[in-house]
Each structure stands twice: as C-alpha cells, then as structure tokens.
Amino acid sequence: MLGLLKSSCMAVLIGLLFVPLSYAAETTLIYISAKNCGYCRAYEASLEDQVKSIAKKHHTVYRTVSVASFAYISDEQDYPPDLKWIAKTANLQNLTPTFLLISGQKIVKRALGTGQLAAYIMPLLE
C-alpha cells in the first residue's frame, strides 16, 4: 500500500513538472523600455500592438517597465512595487528592449531585442 501511495505521489509530482505554462501561475510578458532607446520606439511603432494581441490571446498579461536609460536598466526606482524583484535579482544586461516571460516570480525566458523575442518567447505563447 505504501509503495502504491509513493508511486501515485511521484506521478503527480512528475505531472506538475509538465503543466503547460499558462496553467502553472499567472504568466506575464514584461517589456523593459528605456526613454533613450531608439530600438524601443521602433518596436512600439511597428510590433508592440501585435505582441500585445498575441499575449492577450494566450492569456498572458503584457506589462511595460520604462526606465530612464538603457545604461541603468536595473534601477529599482523605475519598477512598480510588485516587479522590483526583477531589478534586484534578474541580473539584467543594460540593453533594451528587453523582454521577460515570467510565471509567478520566476523568469521562464528572457530576450534581448525583437529578434530574440520572436525566437525565444513568442513560440512559448503559441
């Protein structure tokens, strides 16, 4: 009986490891923009609405964090209170645009620039 219980518990734990991202916790796509970033303005003008639409379609919250300069992307004062943990712990490179796919308070995937956004994050939403 104890062996059956252990096997059942193990099966449940293994199953939880493979729960789709959308069911594990609230999934959020964070876009980190800098006020002095020309690439950010280009993204916002040409692709942002499409990315927001795809995120919404796949039950992913889309949020923007706008920092003063791409030279200080981890400046906590630019982050809302519930996202300050990103500035403190994510070891971000000073490059924008930066995209983070998070589930709860775990960074699932990060991307620097729109090329990496398309290659690394968007396939996880579709």
pLDDT for 25-59, tens place per residue? 689 999 999 999 999 999 999 999 999 999 999 99
Which residues lie below 8 Å from residue 21, measured CB to CB, with a gap of 6+? 27, 101, 103, 108, 124
The domain segmentation of the chain, as residue ranges, is: 21-125
Distance of CA 20 to the CA centre of its chain: 15
pLDDT tens column, 80-91: 999 999 999 988
Decide if pLDDT at 18 tops 50: no
Contact 66, 85 (CB under 8 A): no
Cα separation, 51 vs 104, in Å, equals 20
Decide if pLDDT at 8 tops 60: no
The tokens for 40 are 């950010």
Which CATH number is correct for 21-125, 3.40.30.10, 2.60.40.1930, 3.90.380.10, 3.10.580.20?
A: 3.40.30.10
